[in-house]
Amino acid sequence: MTAQLWSRRTLLSGAASSAALLIASCAAKQSKAIAAAPPAQPGGARVMIIRHAEKPSGSTGPQGIDVNGSPDSHSLTVRGWTRAGALVELFAPATGAYRTGLAKPTAVYAAGGSGGEGTRPRETAGPLAERLGKTVLTTYAKGSESALAAEVARRTEPTLISWQHEEIPALAAAFGVTAPQKWPDDRFDVVWVLTPAGSGWALSQVPQLLLAGDSAEPIK
């Protein structure tokens, strides 16, 4: 099957279907989820940071495919699109309870930028924003972590940020929290959750456990 046979509807519906099966198969693993995060709340400030989903690993690996099904080195792979679909049920489940520590975002941010810059973070957040009836906010690009943190810190409701992994530690630092200094190249499966703590913020990590091979271990 060629990439040209893929369509936006095929990608998103296929990702959602695969996500449902994968979430069910991973349900047993949820007991291993990191318990450091506080319970989800119906409202209140909470910042949930994710890395964009899987990307092409090189010329011999899976290729990137854009939302229209065309090859694009700046886009997600098929596994990445599957994760993007699974994230919809993680952050806005149609039925059932939220994962401990998570809440439904009322605003979704993703990295902006021209050309291919920020494409994967936007693609990752797109299906969730569509479920929520929200527009992905792309005011800030990679390198503008301090300005993004300042804006989001003023919000009083849950927020999701989809970002490039190299700069996620800097984004966390902009909120004033102590976090791992590097996000590993091979980890796409963790949510960093920031919650108000006194006059600042506290960091916890929630494993996604959405796709085969996802780890329950935090980033150290």
Per-residue DSSP letters for 102-139?
----SEEEE---STTTTHHHHHHHHHHHHHHT-PPB--
What sign has the CA pseudo-torsion 191, 196, 199, 205?
Answer: negative
> Strand pairing partners for 200?
197
pLDDT in tens, 104-145: 999 999 999 999 999 999 999 999 999 999 999 999 999 999
Residue 130 CB neighbours (<10 A): 15
Closest alpha carbon to 102 in 220, 201, 195 = 195
Residue 43 pLDDT: 59
The rounded Cα 206 to chain-centroid distance in angstroms is 11
Residue 102 pLDDT: 96
Residue 57 has pLDDT above 80, yes or no: yes
Residue 44 pLDDT: 79
Distances (CA, A) of 211 to 8, 119, 217: 21, 22, 14
